[in-house]
Structure 1
Amino acid sequence: MKTLTEREIKALIHLLGDDDIKTAQIARQRLIESRQEAQPFLEDARTSLDPHVRTRVYSILERLRLDELGERFRHFAAMPSAWIDLEEGAFLIAESGYPTINRQHYRDMLDSMAQTFKERMEEQGLKGRELIEALNHYFFEELGFTGNRDNYYDADNSYLNQVLDRRLGIPISLSLVYLLIARRLRIPVVGISMPGHFLLQYNDSLFIDAFEKGQLLNRGECVQFLMTNGFGFHPAYLSPTPTRFMLVRMLTNLIQIYSTQDPDRADSLSAFRDMLTQSYAKV
């Protein structure tokens, strides 16, 4: 493809403000294709006097940023499933919404939460159900994590940094934070990706509903939920979820949210999801 000159790039940026949508879309696509040459000029155009140009330049820069993030996600997804790290994957997803996220700040936050409970766990010699009940009290009552019932479909419910900052989330994101703390403590907790709901399981016995402030369930109650909600039952529904597919489910939630309000972002996240599933299929 022919390299664009400075004059051509500036002309295309000017066309982003054209009243004819097709003309603006053609200019947009050409600028995306010429990303390396165009990006410095697009950055300058953030302050354009034309509001249409400003809005469309922001959209292009977001697309370029997500494409770059997609390359890093591709390398991550290509790793063998046993090497896929849940925390790293969650941070990559969070970066799609918050590009300047300070990972170390949030890792330190998780470390501190785990350390506080570790001291209590060791001092009191907590084990079994008593251990989980104490961890639930700490996580949901003392730290204040809770389900966001008032705004369930807020995208921030799915970004790790926002769940940690706001202490609000949906079943899978609350379970994510719980898991990351439990793993620091070497407590055997896994994710259970049931149809219609996401749970945690401790030591192959207790099921934990993070959206219901750690409500403890037995296997029969989980089966009853599945049957009552029309999913039927299959043993796989209550099997531990591989890390790769927990990330797939997190991405699916965001794709559904953005599909109408930000189709470009939804497309980028769909590509991330495809990378995870396609890499798995090649193994």
Structure 2
Amino acid sequence: MGERLTLPDWSSLAAQADDTVPLLETALLIARDEYPGLDADLYDTLAQSHAEHLRPEIEAIEEWPLKMAAINRHLFDELGYTGNHDEYYDPRNSYLNEVFERRLGNPITLAMVQMEVARRLGVPLDGVSFPGHFLVRLPVDDGILVMDPFNGGRPLGADELRERAKPHLGGDIPDDNALMHILDPASHRAILIRMLRNLHGVYAERDQWDRAARSADRVLKLAPEQPEAFRDRGLAYLKMDYQHGARHDLARYLHLAPDAADAHALRERLVELNTSRSRMH
């Protein structure tokens, strides 16, 4: 028997360096909120079995891009991992246990599977927190190879990347320097925060405010001073009629981001909350 996979404790994560936050383990910790009986070992073993199936083939290949092509072929063509185009906002797409089980996911969870398998095979695949859809990147001799895990690991050229970035940059097309900056590797912490923000958005859209608040709360476990997470949790608390928590979180948001675009509206909301509290007293 190998060692059992130990999930981290939520209280330990804020103090860790961005890239020592364990990616697979923390993603499964996020999933355990929704699936309390989750068996983390099962998914660790599954990732390892994907890697071991590939190991002889990967070790016989010299070049990184060809190694990556073999990994993608196994994951996406043979095992059938794919982007959930039909139900993109299904929360199950953000829970790694469901992605391993259903072989359906969103860009960030499919990237996690891809990265986990690649890294176990010694292939240095990183995530890219690209605007819109999350991507992955691999160093190659003359630069980087960028791939789209939501669409079978398809390689993306510079022109397509510029077009994809354009709507998120006010219609501007990024030059080479701007594009390379956008394509910087994402830290483990940044990847997990983006996953949680996706979950928050899905649950807020569904009016599932307890789960929306939980998602924002988990962001704060990873990044205790992130302004948007205080705002998101505070607004979810408001919907849940938990006014004490809402007042605290919205005040903290306004302290951390006094010049935010929504600061004026939230200041007025906070005044209303404090006024109603005074009346109650």
Same fold (TM over 0.5): yes
Q: Is the 8 A contact 2:68 2:118 kept in 1?
A: no
**Alpha-carbon distance, 1:230 to partner:** 4.7
Q: Is the 8 A contact 1:78 1:275 kept in 2?
A: no
Which 5+ residue runs of structure 1 have no aligned equivalent?
1-70
Equivalent position of 2:216 in the other structure: 270
**Structure 2 residue 158 is the aligned partner of structure 1 residue 219:** yes
- Which of 209, 215, 218 matches 2:148? 209
- Normalized per residue, which structure has more helix? 1
**Alpha-carbon distance, 1:88 to partner:** 1.5
Q: Name the TM-score, length of structure 1 as normaliser.
A: 0.69
Q: CA RMSD in A?
A: 2.0
Larger radius of gyration between Structure 1 and Structure 2: 1
- Identity across aligned pairs (percent)? 35
Alignment of 1:188-199 (within 5 A): 188-199=124-135
Judged with a 3 Å threshold, the aligned counterparts in structure 2 of structure 1 residues 218 and 140 are, in CA distance, closer, same or farther, namely same
Alignment of 1:37-56 (within 5 A): none
SS at match of 2:127: strand
Judged with a 3 Å threshold, the aligned counterparts in structure 2 of structure 1 residues 208 and 148 are, in CA distance, closer, same or farther, namely same
Cα distance in 2, alignment partners of residues 83 and 125 from structure 1: 29
Alignment of 1:115-194 (within 5 A): 115-122=52-59, 124-194=60-130
The one-letter amino acid of 1:244's match is R
**Alpha-carbon distance, 1:248 to partner:** 0.4
Q: Is the 8 A contact 2:94 2:109 kept in 1?
A: yes
The one-letter amino acid of 2:41's match is Q
Q: Give aligned pairs, total.
A: 210
Equivalent position of 1:252 in the other structure: 197
Q: Is the 8 A contact 2:131 2:168 kept in 1?
A: no
Superimposed CA distance per residue, residues 154-210 of structure 1 (whole angstroms, 9 cap, x where no aligned partner): 110011100000000011110011011111111011000111111000115110101
SS at match of 1:207: strand
**Structure 2 residue 28 is the aligned partner of structure 1 residue 91:** yes
Cα distance in 2, alignment partners of residues 250 and 209 from structure 1: 16
The one-letter amino acid of 2:53's match is T
Which 5+ residue runs of structure 2 have no aligned equivalent?
1-7, 228-281
